Amino acid sequence: MSHRTKIPWAGTQRATTALLLLTLALLLAPRPANGQQSYVSRYNLYAGYTFLDSPHVSLFENGFHTQAGVNATTWLALGFDYSLSQGNLTLTPDLLTPTLQTELAGLLELLGVPANTPIAIPSNSRTQTFAGGPQFEFRHFKQVTFFVRPSIGAIHELATPQPGSNALYQTIVKAFEQTGTLGANGTKTDSVIFYGGGGGADLNLSKHIGLRVQADVVYDHLFSDTLKDGRTTVRFSVGPTFNIGKNIKK
């Protein structure tokens, strides 16, 4: 049984946003010049815009991303990574575990809802990510620093179905509240480990200020008691980076 209907993502919006940000970064980027960088700061701080995209659950979130790092050597940094974002996703029956799909089918039959009726409940999501670890940096060019890193950390998400004025959706949400699938206030939270990888580049606009463009691709399985599958999430981020502290090359 499937009650899923195709819901238009903000696909055009996502692609357009990413394209504009990447274009801006390329326009601002100086031409790479050969030669080692003469200044490598002890500390690095970053803060910028981010979006999270999890197509499997039609989730798209906008938010804030910050990082703080210490350059242990000219090629190895150790740091902490945090992001906070908020957006919307769509819950459809085929995303649920087999047990919950059976329960929902029974409820719809009891309510006299035809089996082919599309069900797609909009929901709000608020996501935090926490990560820490190494970042490997390549400083062959004076004005551009490339980097790669493993992405391993914890993700915490708060999801709240938004049935609106749809009486059927209100009934489904209420039923899941009564069975404990959702909390008493209609919300659900979960925290799990994610893993993957990422990388990007710092465009060194001056000695102490740069523009960072980066992306991470990770996998997690939030709400495993409710959703049958895990999901792949892409996080894109862009913003200013600040190099401070003594020159570790000396």
Quick: pLDDT tens for 150-170: 999 999 999 999 999 999 999
Report the predicted TM-score, pTM, of the whole model to 2 decimal places.
Answer: 0.85
Q: What is the CATH number of the domain that holds 86?
A: 2.40.160.20
Domain membership of residue 78 (yes or no) is yes
Tell me the average pLDDT across 50-76: 95
Tokens, residue 234 = 């892409």
Tell me the average pLDDT across 105-129: 93
Domain membership of residue 82 (yes or no) is yes
Domain membership of residue 4 (yes or no) is no
Domain membership of residue 192 (yes or no) is yes
Examine the pLDDT at 191 and tell me if it is beyond 70.
Answer: yes
- Distance separating alpha carbons of residues 202 and 145, to the nearest angstrom: 5
Residues ≥6 apart with Cβ < 8 Å to 222: 155, 157, 190, 192, 230, 231
Give the domain range for residue 71: 44-247
Domain membership of residue 33 (yes or no) is no
Count of domains forming the chain: 1
Tell me the average pLDDT across 196-206: 94
User: Under DSSP, is residue 19 helix (H, G, I), strand (E, B) or coil?
Assistant: helix
CA angle 212, 196, 82 (to 5 degrees): 50
pLDDT at res. 115: 81
Tell me the average pLDDT across 215-236: 95
Q: How long, in residues, is the chain? A: 250
Domain membership of residue 163 (yes or no) is yes
Q: Which residues of 70-84 are buried (b: 16+ CB within 10 A; e: fewer)?
A: ebeeeeebebebebe
Domain membership of residue 17 (yes or no) is no
pLDDT in tens, 41-56: 999 999 999 999 999 9
Domain membership of residue 76 (yes or no) is yes
